[in-house]
Structure 1
Amino acid sequence: MHIHTTKIGEEPDLDPLIREYQGFRAEIVHLMDRTYTNDLFRNAYQTKLAYLITESAFDLIVNYGFEDLKPVYNKYSEMDIETAIQLQKDKFKITDPAFLLESENNAEVAEDAEFHQLPEEEQQKIKAEQREERIAAQIRAAKLHAEQQKTSRSVRAVYMDLVKSFHPDLETDDAEKVRKTDIMQQVTQAYQENNLLKLLKLQIELERIDQDKLENLTKNQLNYYNKMLKQQVEELEAEKEAVQKRIAAVCGLPYQHANSRTTVIVKFNTNVNELKTEIKNIKNVLKNWKVPSQLKAYLKTYQIPNEEFPEDDD
């Protein structure tokens, strides 16, 4: 399942559900930390606990801001958390262990019965590939979102031209200063709205170019306006693509399917319902694992990916 935090229209926000779910994950990390020295846990069991603690704590610290888990991570890891975070940044790769629920981060194969018949190593490989793809999608969406927040180059270009011509501080005549102050208020508002057409309209009006005289604009002026408008179209297309990609990332949809409002809403609501189910399941996990023998029963069948450990003597 894809768990993200962006809002879709007026649909329910995933943020509170995500915070609740990750909060339960953090509680489980603390629970495993407290029970690590229990007499029931020896050798392989403690190795598995240490792995689950560090993997989960790292994900919660890096991706969800659970700073209080840093000492817990350092307690069980050979590498301190700050070094691990730096290495993660260098590799541009985030690990999401998803160790509690088999259905978590596994939407693509959850309905495929053959998946559960695959060897454990192959299942882990498939899950890892899916996690990496989702992380890459999140990174792409974040970059596009950051780019969208920047004021378009074309708007800034026209804005700066108008500022040079009509800034009131450059005017000595009081009446003209008042007029230019009003003009700059309009210009600034259009600039803040990232509205190129409004800026161009102001530029034409303020330069006293009426409709009848538009035909007499110089070639350079026409080229200038055409260039600005073409650039604005390109930027709007990029903005549209960015929004569509963010929606696709939020809902776990292929990019080409994120242009249908009905499809997006149905998928988003499905994600909400699935997350509510996972919250219910993880609450049961937390309740059960408070009994050390039940946590041990889970650890007995759990295998660290790509590693094998002998059974602990009971």
Structure 2
Amino acid sequence: MTPSRTLAIAQPAATRLSPAQKKFNSLVKRIAEQRALLAQWEEAVPLFRERRARELLPLLDDYRVLSVQMVRVLHAAAANRKGLGKADRDTIAALITDLAGALADSAPDEALRAEMKQRYNEHAGSDFDEDGADSDAMAREMARDLFGMDIPDDVDLNSPEELMRHIAQEMQADAQAPPDRPAKKPSKRAQQATQSLREVYRKLASALHPDREGDPAERARKTALMQRANEAYANNRLLDLLQLQLEAEQIDPGQLANLSAERLKHYNHVLAEQLDELRHEVAATEGAFVLEFNLPPLQPLKPARLMDTLRHQIAQLTLDTHHLRQQLPLLDDLPTLKRWLKEQRAAMRARQEEEDLLSLFGR
């Protein structure tokens, strides 16, 4: 490929580009942007996953051990009740509900999960399994919005690997399955766009056919180009075919500028479809990342900032773990426990006010 050659319609001297020519250039640019974004996601996610496993998960193990101890200390204090007012007991119940609920899902062994589930039921005033069913329903609804498919009940939403495997299998099955009913006859415009795509491919195939080339090096080059052309045509990627034409020196920017208005309209139709498919692919990749790592669904994410997100998570978890380790030995003292519970109530109110404010502004 010759990187310096750009597939775009250059503005002729003393004239302006037509609306269709401007649209062509805009579509080419936006497709390139979406491809770059998709490549960034595909590069960033494995790096995020590897570093998270290496640096964050050990911290999570430590935090989980301390959280179990905190649940037990608070449960013992609530059972004793001596010296605790209603506000204190309510605060303990809320803290145990949050901690035990998370541990009932993530604890490493069944006995500990059962213990945490029991503590949740005692202090939440509801049943963990029933509340979990509501959470699963919300997660399945989010998956349906992101991927356009229903997640069956036998798929464990707490297992990112199982969820992603199911989604990939469903997408592959949808792509291979025959339609339930005969497809509608393509519109004339769609037929003409397909014809334009086919004509570009045929010109390439004629120019690049390796069997017609006597020079071994040139035959190898054309074989590689022909393989790319076959893949591009099979996936309806007009932009790739036009880029290959540029590489094979079958077209130049001047020829693009002289395309008929009708031909350009057909090209723009195919390119717009390609752009739409790329946008869906980027959205699905981002959605899979959000589901795998249990992130807020409306949080704006950029591949280049994923490591910043992870560093923030590591720093916050390190701080939370440090605080838990410091607080636990002090909570056996009733006055200290009551002061600590008062601080927790203030923190809860602040978080609730922040959530209410974000909700007010639709975020």
Q: Where is the helix percentage greater, Structure 1 or Structure 2?
A: 2
With structure 1 as the length reference, what TM-score do the two structures score?
0.46
With structure 2 as the length reference, what TM-score do the two structures score?
0.41
